[in-house]
């Protein structure tokens, strides 16, 4: 299956001739596999980690250590310091897909735009971005992501493992001798972004069990929002319906899936 995945990347490079081919490495195992696959292509420019400022530091360290071990160049793009807190103190704790789009823009999309501006070489240049998005578990994804390569202006989104299962990912990690992220093994998510917009509020208890300082930071922000008379609950409203036309946000793949499965 890895040869088919590499062929997807090769097809994107052949068609769009990007000046750079980056792999988006969140620290989750899906992105670990897609980054390892992308690194086998001659056009590979490096791994990119989006530091949202509201995540688990152990995952960031895992990304940095893995890139050092594998010899992958790493670019870490950080959201503006305090961006999440400022957003919460203006609008309240984000909950639900509408708020998720707003937070996604501030924490992740803006950093991708900076990446593109920093590396675009001419007006018609393309920047290829390899992700670990998979749609095997979701009928909605099958509708909204029918193809593995999609151009969005300058950006060329490449999803080489769309048809992989979770078992395929785990087997690849083991077969290649890749080190697993202990945060994923504990929380079943990378934890690189804990904005909470699509999270089940109960997830905060699990985060608090393994990473109490992270959970306390969120609780402190909840209390600050409460005192300000703003929405103060971390996590989505479980009663919110899923909009079938809600756009797919490729850097929030795992959160979107959990939201769908919980509905």
Instruction: Summarize pLDDT for 202-237 with one digit per residue, the tens.
Output: 999 999 999 999 999 999 999 999 999 999 999 987
Gap between the Cα atoms of 243 and 88, Å rounded: 24
Q: Could you please report the per-residue DSSP string of 18-67? A: -SEEEEE--SSHHHHHHHHHHTTSTTEEEEEEEE-SSS-HHHHHHHHHHH
DSSP state at residue 128:
E
Show contacts of 12-17: CB within 8 Å, 24+ apart. Answer: 12/128, 12/149, 12/156, 12/158, 13/41, 13/43, 13/128, 15/149, 16/126, 16/128, 16/151, 16/156, 17/126
34: which 2 tokens? Answer: 């897609």
State the pLDDT confidence band at 125, using cuts at 50, 70 and 90. Answer: very high
Q: Which of 148, 193, 103 is nearest to 6 (CA)?
A: 148
State the pLDDT confidence band at 198, using cuts at 50, 70 and 90. Answer: confident
Sign of torsion over alpha carbons 25, 26, 29, 34: negative
Domains, the chain, with CATH or none: 2-258 (3.40.50.620)
Gap between the Cα atoms of 4 and 163, Å rounded: 10
Cα angle at 28 between 114 and 111, to 5 degrees? 10
Rg (CA), the chain: 18
Gap between the Cα atoms of 96 and 130, Å rounded: 27
**Coil/strand/helix, residue 77:** strand
Gap between the Cα atoms of 114 and 180, Å rounded: 29
Please give the model's pTM, rounded to 2 decimal places. Answer: 0.90
Neighbours of 55 (CB within 10 A): 23
What are the tens digits of pLDDT across the range 49-99? 999 999 999 999 999 999 999 999 999 999 999 999 999 999 999 987 778
What are the tens digits of pLDDT across the range 9-42? 999 999 999 999 999 999 999 999 999 999 999 9
Q: Which of 243, 251, 248 is nearest to 96 (CA)?
A: 243
């Amino acid at each position: 299956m890895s040869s088919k995945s590499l062929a997807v990347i090769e097809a994107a490079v052949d068609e769009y001739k990007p000046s750079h081919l980056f792999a988006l490495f969140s620290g989750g195992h899906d992105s670990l596999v897609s980054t390892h696959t992308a690194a086998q292509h001659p056009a590979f420019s490096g791994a990119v980690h989006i530091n949202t400022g509201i995540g688990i530091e152990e995952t960031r360290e895992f990304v940095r250590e893995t890139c050092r071990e594998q010899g992958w160049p790493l670019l870490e793009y950080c959201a503006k310091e305090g961006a999440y807190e400022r957003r919460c103190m203006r609008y309240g704790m984000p909950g639900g897909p509408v708020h998720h789009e707003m937070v996604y823009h501030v924490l992740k999309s803006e950093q991708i735009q900076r990446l593109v501006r920093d590396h675009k070489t001419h007006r018609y240049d393309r920047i290829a971005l390899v992700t670990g998005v998979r749609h095997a578990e979701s009928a909605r994804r099958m509708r909204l992501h029918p193809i593995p390569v999609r151009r969005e202006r300058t950006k060329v989104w490449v999803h080489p493992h769309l048809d992989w299962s979770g078992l395929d990912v785990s087997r690849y990690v083991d077969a290649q001798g890749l080190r697993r992220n202990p945060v994923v093994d504990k929380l079943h998510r990378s934890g690189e972004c804990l904005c909470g917009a699509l999270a089940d509020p109960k997830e905060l208890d699990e985060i608090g069990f393994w990473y109490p300082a992270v959970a306390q930071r969120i609780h402190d922000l909840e209390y600050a929002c409460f005192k300000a008379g703003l929405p103060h609950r971390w996590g989505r409203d479980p009663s919110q319906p899923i909009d079938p036309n809600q756009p797919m946000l490729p850097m929030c793949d795992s959160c979107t899936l959990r939201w769908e499965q919980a509905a």
